[in-house]
Amino acid sequence: MRIERSFNASIQDVWELWTTKAGIESWWGPEGFEVKVDKLDFRPGGQLLYAMTATAPEQIEFLKKAGMPQTQAARITFNEVVPLKRLVFTQLADFIPDVAPYEVATTVEFDTGPEGVRMVMTLDAMHDEQWTKMAVMGWESELGKLAKRLSGLRR
């Protein structure tokens, strides 16, 4: 799967929101969720550990119906870090009822130009079409939050 976005922002601002505790907590997680970072070791082999909690009634209800808790612990392992250019990480998908845990790889590449920052995200498909669709929708929502956060920095 591939998602592209452009941001009218500096690469430093975009990078900071992707790579710091405060930055991640300000936009990570789809609409209706909040994230609290427990650990951030931002280097190859390092990890991001966080808890994502549903805060909106419709997300809480979805999780209940799916037999999933309102708060999920998550683990990301950084495989490659090229400052201001590229992030490669794997996320453990261990939260899906009746599905054995597996890793999902993601690559995020940043390119700068006169219009700001172009970001290209490439991610592995999930175990089935429905979960892949939900993952893409989740990232689209998160990247919308990132765009709003970057817009707020320009003011």
Averaged pLDDT score across all residues of the chain = 93
Residue ranges of alpha helices (H) inside 44-128 are: 57-65
- 54 vs 35: CA distance, rounded Å: 9
pTM: 0.89
| Domain map (residue ranges) of the chain | 2-150
Task: Tell me the three state secondary structure of residue 100.
Answer: coil
pLDDT tens-digit series, residues 104-129: 999 999 999 888 999 999 999 999 99
User: If residue 153 lies in a helix (H) or strand (E), which one and from where to where?
Assistant: helix 129-154
Three state DSSP letters for 1-22 = CEEEEEECCCHHHHHHHHHCHH
Q: What are phi and psi of 13, to 5 degrees?
A: -65, -45
pLDDT tens-digit series, residues 75-101: 999 999 999 999 999 999 988 888 999
pLDDT at 154: 66
Region for residue 117 given its phi and psi (left: phi exceeds 0; alpha: psi -120 to 50; beta: otherwise): beta
CATH of domain 2-150: 3.30.530.20
CB 95 within 8 A of CB 119: no
